[in-house]
Amino acid sequence: MEIKDTALPDVKLVLPKVFGDSRGFFKEVWNQRELARHGLHVEFVQDNFSRSCRNTLRGLHFQEAKPQGKLVWVSRGEVCDVAVDVRRESPTFGKWIAERLSCENHRMLWIPPGFAHGFRVLSNEADFQYKCTEFYDPDDERCIRWDDETLAIDWGDVDSAELIISEKDASAPSLKAMFEV
């Protein structure tokens, strides 16, 4: 397993070793010892799975009092995956990174606690999986607008009229309104 830095020092790109032959492939998605060797000492308590159709945009979600760290990957299809630093004391507060994750490139992203997370589906369908370091708490969940002008996230070439967004995500506040910055 190879772990690379991203433009946000705490967010890591995880590249598992993929062993392929005429039957298909095998890869190890998570290995506690290997992650710890790279300084990522995490304990996962919940696994999640979602299936979404093209142009579905989910996010930007985070938990405030009980922040979740997430190891995310795509087992079918392709997404534009985004992490936004929402740790007020962080020198990278309000900064974001985007990575294309797909079943073909096998890339995974480690998103530490204190980051908002979202993704847009680029393929006809995508199966998205993630391991979480904290249990989901609907009363603690917060959301920031996906199209926040101060963040100016590049979600890829997309017509916003074609996006499929939940009511909750469509009515989310801006980063400025959420954090009164």
Q: What is the pLDDT of residues 126-149, one digit of tens each?
A: 999 999 999 999 999 999 999 999
- Whole-angstrom Cα distance, residue 171 to residue 167? 6
Separation of alpha carbons 170 and 156, rounded Å: 18
Q: What is the 3-state secondary structure (H, E, C) of 60-82?
A: EEEECCCCCCEEEEEEECEEEEE
Specify the pLDDT at position 161: 86
61 classed as catalytic: yes
Task: Note if 130 is an active site residue.
Answer: yes
Model pLDDT for residues 4-59, shown as the tens digit of each residue: 999 998 999 999 899 999 998 998 888 899 889 988 999 999 999 999 999 999 99
How is the chain split among helix, strand and coil, in percent rounded to 5?
10, 45, 50
As a whole number, mean pLDDT of residues 80-87 equals 98
Which of 50, 172, 176, 68 minimizes the C-alpha distance to 119?
50
The answer, yes or no, to whether residue 117 has pLDDT greater than 90, is yes
Domain limits, the chain: 2-179
Count of beta carbons in the 10 Å neighbourhood of residue 163: 18
Catalytic entry in 38, 41, 61, 106? 61
CA atoms 44, 46, 51, 56: torsion sign: negative
**Res. 181 pLDDT band, cuts 50 70 90:** low
pLDDT bracket for residue 157 (50, 70, 90): confident
- Which residue did the predictor score with more confidence, 31 or 125? 125
Count helices and strands in the chain by DSSP H and E runs: 3, 13
DSSP state of 153: -
What share of the chain has pLDDT > 70, as a percent?
Answer: 99
Q: What is the mean pLDDT of residues 94-111?
A: 97
Which CATH number does the domain 2-179 belong to among 3.20.20.70, 3.40.50.1000, 2.60.120.10, 3.90.25.10?
2.60.120.10
Which is catalytic among the residues 38, 117, 130, 136?
130
Inter-residue contact 175 to 181 (CB < 8 Å): yes
Q: Report pLDDT digits (tens) over 57-76.
A: 999 999 999 999 999 999 99
Burial of 140 (0-12, 13-18, 19+ CB in 10 A): middle
Residue 160 pLDDT > 90: no
